[in-house]
Each structure stands twice: as structure tokens, then as C-alpha cells.
Amino acid sequence: MHISYDFLTQAGNTHKSVSDYRENFTCNILYPLVKPSYGKLEDFINEVGRISSAAATINVYPRGTPKYETAIVHRFPNGISDVVPFVVEPDNEIALRGLIELLEENKVKGRNIPFALKSGGHISVPKIYPHEQGILISMEQFTYINYDKEKQTLDVGAGVTWQGVYDYLGQFDSDPAPGVVGGDPLVGVSGWLLGGGYSLLTNRFGLGIDDIIGFRAVLLSKGIRNINREENPEVFMALKGGGHNFGIISQFTLRVHEYAKRVVQTPPVISKEFPVSESNVVKDIMIAFIQTENRPQAAVLLAAFRHDIKDGELKSIIPLYAWYTDSSLAQLPQVPESQDLTQFSSSQSRDPSSMSLAEAYEAISLRHLPVSLKTLQEDFVPAASEDIGRNVLNADLIEKKLITSRQNGSEIDWNSLTVFKVGGKTAVMKRPPDLRGRMACIMVTTYTRTLMDEAEKQAKELSSLMLANQGTRVSFEIWPFHKKAFDGIKRGDSAWPHEEGNVFGPLVGWFEWSGRENDEYWLKNIANSLAALRKVALQEKCTTEDLPMYLNITLEDTPVKDIYREHYEALKPLRRECDPNNVMGLAAGFVIDAREK
């Protein structure tokens, strides 16, 4: 049950306006049995069939159809699945160009169609407005990956997750092995890169945007373009950390590094869970690491003050993780021995396909999914693994929708189940969790004991609100970066301001709850908590008034100027040049207002 427009090849076809694309297409429109009315949005969907330039396909999935249900899965649903009537899925750059031009044509005529872009679906900010007249553009078909060994580059489509990248690079089992500066396996390449890209490799190789050497993108005023330091250099700078302000990226070209993949794809060398009564031990370790580790390539250390509701009870822990990025850790105090995930897993097979149910639970917990071990045990369906495996999409360890159907006379009953697939293990939940939440942060240059104390205090205060307000997780993460992490980066190299000698990073907050009715309550309390943290950070000289906010994990009421800071005014003329009719102003997220002079 979807709309599929299949376009025929036209020999000698040149760039045309959308109004010229009126011939040589086939159109099959299948709505649910009870067809809703969406007014001008429905007119727009019907016009999609007029886009025809060479060979291209655009699939349109109305709400309530199986592919729609899988396409709208996000890390934090936050109501997106409830309100956007259509998912639109172009299959190549030509189709994407036609779709964007159609959005522009409608805008010029006064028919605004708000939209959001989805790569991996990890960003938590829902800003499609008005949502009942909006669409979600899925980049799922942009899955091209190619490693050029001679050039030491990797081309990656905008619909790929980092798991797809790591799986692809796994076939090149050489020493040294090729790798890239990438994010969490479940995160989409596009969203992570366009925001900046902090990672386990930042101390060694900088941000993700620092390792981009080229793009392919659809620009409103220029069509499909190669963008790099030689071709369209101004746009190249602007796309690095510039979100989707200047167009839609279809492909990235990344610099390949030796050994890089080994850090991202290996378990932490330290993985300990401390009780909150031992918080001083963790803070001592973090302070000693910050003060004594002088080699930027040595290691990454991360701790979190984390509180979860599991089986109706508040569970509070302080996890501590460390990864090698060089041969050894220097000056790191001995961590007290305790049972942990690394030790637990060492006795198990390293092959993800043979994970035990207990390992699956630990892995799911690390992905911050609110599923109890009891639930997994009750719903574990080993006999269904083979069949379910054909229905789940993308990477392991992520919530997915399994759609089943049953013919009932002339109607079809659709049933949505939540599927957790970990290697060969699958768990099915009849009622998926009503998960809502945000990631947020303050930006800091370093950490002091006092700032860590405040992060612990704020996490504890928010955790006290969880049981009464359907909270499921509160966490503040301490993640220090080395003072040389931005070495070699010049002012003006990217849209997002960062440069050598001025290193900073996010103190990350992770918040989850259930129920739309609790959104306002939690957003207010999260904002208050972040403000209190920032006040202490300023007092401790751990931040400044003008550090740029991090696009990927900032609250939706953050002014766009606070993301681009001193680069904001310089980006506005280019924003108008690339998008003269301000089409990207209809997009969800943090977009520079092209109308500003």
C-alpha cells in the first residue's frame, strides 16, 4: 500500500523546471481503504508523478502503510510517527533534485510543504510545522559505498549508517586496516557529519567534518554538484557543520586512516559500573586523566552519572569506559576490580551472531533502550528469528517495527510489533514502549571537580522526578577531549567554528520519558538543569559565553546564531545564493533565515 512513480528514460534529457516534466511516467496510487484528505499536501503528492528526468523513482508511503511504519522509526519518536502524513523516498540524485525543485515550485506559488530529512534517525529534535501538512524525506536508498585504495578515500551515500560503513570496511582485512572517523554504529552518516562529528577518534584525527574531502549535493540554485576545495570551495566550507542549510547532500567523500576502524569497532578496555556511593573514585580517575595524560593519541575516557527506571524501580550507577587509541594508557589510576560487561563478554563468543540473551540485554541497555531482562526473557521468540530477519531493516541493536497482515474480507488488518534483533537473537514486544526524549548539552573546554559535582547533583535532582512523571532515563556524561584535538584546523575551514588551540566538546545529557503529555514538563526541567550546569561551568572557567552549541544534541529552542556564532553573518549571503527562494527554510532543524539581511 504505497504510491510508486516509475519514470522512463528520456534520451537527451537536459535540466528542466518541474513544470516541464509532464510525460513518460507511470503512476500507481494506492491509499488505505479510508482515504483521508490532506488538501494542498495531497495535491503536492499527486504532482510528484510529474517529475521525470532520466531514470528515477520516488516512492510515497502514506501513514498507516507498512513501509511508512518502518521508515519513520527514529531514536526518539517524539510524535513524528503520529503526525506526518507521508514518507517520500527518492531513489537517486535525479529523483531527489526533482523533488526539491517541486518543493520550490510550490513555495513560489505560496504552497509551503514543510519537511524533514532522515538518514539514520538519531537526532531528537522534532520541528516539522505544521506537521499535518508535512512530509518526511527518507534517504534510505542512498546506500552507495566505495573504497578507493589508491586515493585512500571512501565514498558514502547519505542513507548509510555507520554500521554499514564498518561492515563494508571489514572486508579489507589488511594490516594496516582502512578506517574512517565515524560515529556510533546505529547513527546515520549524514546527520552525524553535518553537525560536526565528535567521536572516539577526535583526539587523534579531529571532528568528522575535518575528515570530509568532498560532497555530492543537490543545491537549489545549481542542481546536482560535486563540492570540494577545487569545485565550489565556498559551499564546501559551508557544508562542513552547516547542516542542511545549503541543500541536500547525497554523498560524502571521507579521508581514510590506517587503524582508525579498530578503535570504533572494539570493546572498551575498561568497562566498569560503580555504585553512586563511589562517585568520588570515578571523579578522582577522571581528574587524574585530564591532568596527566599528555598524549592526544593515547586514549578516550568517559563516565556518566546515570539513573534508570527498570521494572518500576530507580537504578543509579556510574559507568566508566576507556578505549585505547594508541598502544597504552598513560597515568591512569588503577580501576578497582568488579564484574563488568567486558569481563562478562570475554567468556562469551566475540561473534555477535552467537550472543547469549544476557549479552543481548547488556547490549540493548548500552543502547539506552528501556527494555528489562524479564521482558526479553518473556518475549524471546527463537523460532521466529529466520522469518523476522526478513522484516527488520538496517543495523542490529535498534528498535524496529515488524508489520504483519491478515486478510479480513475486503479489508486488511495491519499489526505493528516492536522487534529487537541482536545478531541471531530476536525479541518481540507486543506493545512497544512509548519512548520520548532528548539529547542535549552544554559546551565545555575542560572539567574541574566542581563541575563534575554539579553534573552529579543535577542528574540526581532530575532522577527524583522520574517515577512521578514517567521518566525512564537521566544521564550526564563526562567526556573530556585533549587540548590538541583540533590541531591543524584553521579558522574558517568549516561553517561550525572550531580551530587549533581552542578545543571544546559537549557535556552530554541524555533524557527519556514516556507520554506526550509529559513533554513540556521534562523540557522545562532539562533546560533549567542545563542552565545551572552552564552557570557553574562559567564560574569554573570551563566554558565561555561564546562557544558554539553543538547542532546534533541541542534543544530545539536554541537560536541558530548560537550554533554558528561568529560565522553566522558570513554564512547568510551564501545561504541566499544557494537557496534564493528559501526552500530549506521549510526544513526541520536549525536553518539560517535566508530572508535576513
Domains and CATH numbers, the chain: 3-138 (3.30.43), 145-263 (3.30.465.10), 267-336+435-553 (3.40.462), 355-367+371-429 (no CATH)
For residues 471 and 370, what is the distance between their CA atoms, to the nearest angstrom?
Answer: 10
For residues 117 and 115, what is the distance between their CA atoms, to the nearest angstrom?
Answer: 7
pLDDT at position 393 is 28
pLDDT at position 78 is 57
Q: Which residues contact 339 (CB under 8 A, 6 or more apart)?
A: none
CA distances for 158 relative to 167, 182, 192, angstroms: 16, 13, 10
Identity of the amino acid at 430: K
> H or E stretch including 282?
helix 279-292
Cα dihedral: 573, 574, 575, 578 (round 10): 130
Handedness of CA 131, 247, 23, 142 (dihedral sign): negative
Q: What is the DSSP letter of 481?
A: -
| Chain position carrying cell 494542498 | 40
State in Å, rounded, how far the first CA of the chain is from the last one: 46
For residues 400 and 69, what is the distance between their CA atoms, to the nearest angstrom?
Answer: 9
Report which of 488, 444, 443 is spatially closest to residue 290, judged by C-alpha positions: 444
Q: Are 536 and 450 in contact (CB under 8 A)?
A: yes
Tally of CB atoms within 10 A around 139: 24
3-state secondary structure 9-48: CCCCCCCCCHHHCCCCEEEEECCCCCCCCCCHHHHHHHHH
Identity of the amino acid at 273: E
| Chain position carrying cell 523540557 | 523
Q: Are 203 and 188 in contact (CB under 8 A)?
A: no
Tally of CB atoms within 10 A around 1: 16
pLDDT at position 318 is 95
* Number of helical (H) and strand (E) elements in the chain, helices listed first: 18, 22
For residues 89 and 67, what is the distance between their CA atoms, to the nearest angstrom?
Answer: 10
Q: Are 550 and 441 in contact (CB under 8 A)?
A: yes
| 150: its cell numbers | 589508491
CA 406, 409, 412 angle in degrees (round to 5)?
35
Half-sphere exposure of 396 (CA within 13 A, CB side): 17
For residues 561 and 383, what is the distance between their CA atoms, to the nearest angstrom?
Answer: 53
For residues 132 and 284, what is the distance between their CA atoms, to the nearest angstrom?
Answer: 51
Q: Are 166 and 185 in contact (CB under 8 A)?
A: yes
Render the burial of 310-349: b for 16+ CB within 10 Å, e for the rest: beeeeebbbbbbbbbbeeebeebeebeeeebbeeebeeee
pLDDT at position 261 is 62
For residues 141 and 91, what is the distance between their CA atoms, to the nearest angstrom?
Answer: 5
| 101: its cell numbers | 525543485
Neighbouring-strand partners of residue 483: none
For residues 511 and 495, what is the distance between their CA atoms, to the nearest angstrom?
Answer: 28
Residue 157 Rama label (left phi>0; alpha psi -120 to 50; beta) = beta
Provide the residue-wise pLDDT of the chain in tens; the chain has 597 residues.
Answer: 234 433 322 223 333 333 333 233 333 334 443 445 556 888 888 888 776 555 688 989 887 776 776 777 666 655 554 568 899 999 999 999 999 999 999 999 999 999 989 887 766 665 677 778 899 999 999 999 999 999 999 999 999 988 889 889 888 866 566 888 888 877 889 999 998 999 888 988 899 999 999 999 999 988 999 999 999 999 999 999 999 999 999 999 999 987 666 555 566 677 888 999 999 999 999 998 898 877 766 678 899 999 998 778 899 999 998 877 654 443 344 444 333 322 222 222 333 332 334 444 444 444 444 444 444 444 444 333 333 333 332 223 233 333 333 334 444 333 444 444 444 444 444 444 566 888 899 999 999 999 999 999 999 999 999 999 999 899 999 999 999 999 999 988 999 999 999 999 999 999 988 888 899 999 999 999 999 999 999 999 999 999 999 998 899 899 999 999 999 999 999 999 999 999 999 998 899 988 777
For residues 512 and 436, what is the distance between their CA atoms, to the nearest angstrom?
Answer: 6
For residues 364 and 380, what is the distance between their CA atoms, to the nearest angstrom?
Answer: 14
For residues 359 and 362, what is the distance between their CA atoms, to the nearest angstrom?
Answer: 5
Rg of the Cα trace of the chain?
Answer: 24
